[in-house]
């Protein structure tokens, strides 16, 4: 049975939310960058360190066995969260960026000059730069899918860009700037129709959407812990069994091998083949606990709450002279990017901080999208389950005061 969505009770699980900033109650609206972490997650990591910590997989003593069991239980939690077929489909990484680099590096040996990688203009740099490595080093060609006026992915553009030369399609499930949600199931069908694989960047989507990788049909799906109320330094890569078998190892070291001799080496099976060295043990356990914590709520209720906050902010700012909102598609997550005419986003963010309101400003690691929008940067407010209508009102009020100061 799901827990009731009692926002005040939820907030009590995040002590940081009770602090003041510059003499004002903190309104933390930078969740798309990193969400805060509840006591349940922090306690899970602390309790593990206090009671049973050792390196995993290699020891035979009690502490090693208990730690390995907790670590592998976290893998099973990630598997269930994504509805992956088997725990061996889940690779622990240090974050979403490493997961994407793992895949890009893993297919590099199969890339020939002229092979195509298809991306969208709203990708995060972590889903752009690793593919540029293949362009620079192996002669791959990057092709770009455009977005529509409302910020949604242009599916016709995707159909036009894929071809018999396409080796990988790499798309965000939810834009970290616009909040736009991609129809990744249809994108997967399009990629597979030309024999290409598809990687879905779910770092923003994981905290807001129900993810079913079997229903999507994708070859790879990427998560990161710190955006899903978990610790930093941990993420996960889902790969189908066939897709993972086709990848060469990303890093070499302990655990990822079977036999090492002077003149040869043989590799372990997935997932261990891609987890060289000592993994982020406590972070993985915390990641698993964060996913359990999130799934203890009815996600329909969570989405309704988050979307109500987004709607409240958008309604308050829509039509206000000099304020422009980016990404207006109805199918979007609780992320609102905006600009104020005549004011730099950094100035807006610094002034809002005076009133205790924490937002993000900059290019959000999405410079191709900024170029598409015709701006160098935007400000961004993003909402989480623990945010309240009064925090939205504080944000809107502070923004109006900032405009008066700057204009």
Q: What is the CATH number of the domain that holds 22?
A: 3.90.1150.10
Residue by residue, DSSP assigns 276-322 as -SS--HHHHHHHHHHHHHHHTB-HHHHHHHHHHHHHHHHHHHTT-TT
Does 166 lie in the same domain as 54? Answer: yes
Residue 139 lies in a domain: yes
Residue by residue, DSSP assigns 186-202 as HHHHHHHHTT-EEEEE-
Looking at residue 23, the DSSP 8-state letter turns out to be T
What ranges in 95-251 are assigned the alpha helix state H?
Answer: 96-107, 129-138, 155-161, 184-193, 213-216, 241-245
Looking at residue 172, the DSSP 8-state letter turns out to be E
Does 343 lie in the same domain as 257? Answer: no
β-strand partners of 117 = 142, 168
| Number of domains within the chain | 2
**How is residue 208 written in tokens?**
């807001």
What are the CA-CA distances from residue 176 to residues 15, 123, 281 (Å)? 26, 8, 28
Does 101 lie in the same domain as 220? Answer: yes
Q: In what order do the strands lie in the sheet with 220-224?
A: 90-93, 235-239, 220-224, 197-201, 166-172, 116-120, 141-145
Q: Domain with 188 in it: what CATH number?
A: 3.40.640.10
Does 337 lie in the same domain as 234? Answer: no
Instruction: Return all residues near 283 (Cβ < 8 A) that are at least 6 apart.
Output: 45, 225, 230, 231, 232, 233, 234
**Domain, as residue range, for 83:** 43-295
Whether this model's pTM surpasses 0.75: yes
Closest by CA to 284, choosing from 98, 91, 71, is 71
Final residue before a domain boundary, out of 264, 295, 326: 295
Does 270 lie in the same domain as 183? Answer: yes
**pLDDT at residue 58, rounded to an integer:** 84
Residue 1 lies in a domain: no
Residue 158 neighbours by CB distance under 10 Å? 22
Final residue before a domain boundary, out of 249, 270, 295: 295
Residue 36 lies in a domain: no
Does 112 lie in the same domain as 53? Answer: yes
Backbone torsions φ then ψ of 100, nearest 5 degrees: -70, -40
Contact criterion met (CB below 8 Å) for 147 and 120:
yes
Residue 38 lies in a domain: no
Does 388 lie in the same domain as 323? Answer: yes
Instruction: Return all residues near 337 (Cβ < 8 A) that are at least 6 apart.
Output: 177, 178, 179, 325, 326, 327, 364, 378, 379, 380
Does 289 lie in the same domain as 176? Answer: yes
Residue 213 lies in a domain: yes
Measure the CA–CA gap between 288 and 285, rounded to whole angstroms: 5
Does 158 lie in the same domain as 133? Answer: yes
Does 60 lie in the same domain as 26? Answer: no
* Catalytic residue chosen out of the listed positions 141, 314, 365, 375: 365
Contact criterion met (CB below 8 Å) for 368 and 121:
yes
Residue 320 lies in a domain: yes
Residue by residue, DSSP assigns 55-105 as -SSS--SHHHHHHHHHHHHHHHHHHHHHT-S-GGGEEEESSHHHHHHHHHH
Average pLDDT across each block of 10 residues of the chain; the chain has 407 residues. List them in order. 94 98 98 98 98 94 97 98 98 98 97 98 98 98 98 98 98 98 98 98 98 98 98 98 96 93 94 96 98 98 98 95 95 96 96 98 98 97 98 98 89
Residue 35 lies in a domain: no
Final residue before a domain boundary, out of 295, 328, 355: 295
Does 199 lie in the same domain as 103? Answer: yes
Measure the CA–CA gap between 141 and 159, rounded to whole angstroms: 17
Backbone torsions φ then ψ of 184, nearest 5 degrees: -75, -20
Does 309 lie in the same domain as 259? Answer: no
Residue 85 lies in a domain: yes
Active site residue 203: no
């Amino acid at each position: 049975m799901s827990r009731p969505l009692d926002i005040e009770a939820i907030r009590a699980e995040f002590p940081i939310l009770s602090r003041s900033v510059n003499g004002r109650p903190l309104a933390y609206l930078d969740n798309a960058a990193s969400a805060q972490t509840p006591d349940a997650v922090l306690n899970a990591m602390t309790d593990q360190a206090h009671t049973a910590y050792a390196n995993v997989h290699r020891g035979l003593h009690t502490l090693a066995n208990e730690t390995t069991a907790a670590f592998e239980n976290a893998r099973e939690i990630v598997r269930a969260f994504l509805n992956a077929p088997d725990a061996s489909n889940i690779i622990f990484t240090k974050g979403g960026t490493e997961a994407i680099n793992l895949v890009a590096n893993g297919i590099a040996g199969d890339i020939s000059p002229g092979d195509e990688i298809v991306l969208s203009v709203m990708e995060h740099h972590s889903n752009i730069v690793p593919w540029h490595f293949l362009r620079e080093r192996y002669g791959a060609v990057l092709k770009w899918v455009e977005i529509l006026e409302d910020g949604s992915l242009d599916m016709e553009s995707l159909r036009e860009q894929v071809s018999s030369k396409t080796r990988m399609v790499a798309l965000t499930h939810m834009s970290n700037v616009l909040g736009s949600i991609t129809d990744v199931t249809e994108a997967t069908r399009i990629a597979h129709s030309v024999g290409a694989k598809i990687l879905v960047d779910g770092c923003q989507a994981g905290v807001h959407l129900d993810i079913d990788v079997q229903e999507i049909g994708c070859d790879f799906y990427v998560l990161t812990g710190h955006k899903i109320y978990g610790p930093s330094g941990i993420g996960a890569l889902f790969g189908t069994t066939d897709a993972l078998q086709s990848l060469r190892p990303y890093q070499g070291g302990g655990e990822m091998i079977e036999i090492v001799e002077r003149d040869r080496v043989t590799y372990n099976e997935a997932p261990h083949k891609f987890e060289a060295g000592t993994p982020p043990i406590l972070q993985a356990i915390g990641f698993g606990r964060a996913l359990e914590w999130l799934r203890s709520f009815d996600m329909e209720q969570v989405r309704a709450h988050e979307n109500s906050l987004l709607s409240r902010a958008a309604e308050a700012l829509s039509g206000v002279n000099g304020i422009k909102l980016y990404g207006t598609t109805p199918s979007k997550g609780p992320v609102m990017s905006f600009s104020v005419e005549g004011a730099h986003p950094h100035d807006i963010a610094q002034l809002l901080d005076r009133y205790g309101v924490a937002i993000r400003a900059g290019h959000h690691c999405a410079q191709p999208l900024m170029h598409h929008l015709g701006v160098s940067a935007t400000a961004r407010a993003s909402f989480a389950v623990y945010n309240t209508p009064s925090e939205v009102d504080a944000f809107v009020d502070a923004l109006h005061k900032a405009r008066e100061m700057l204009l």
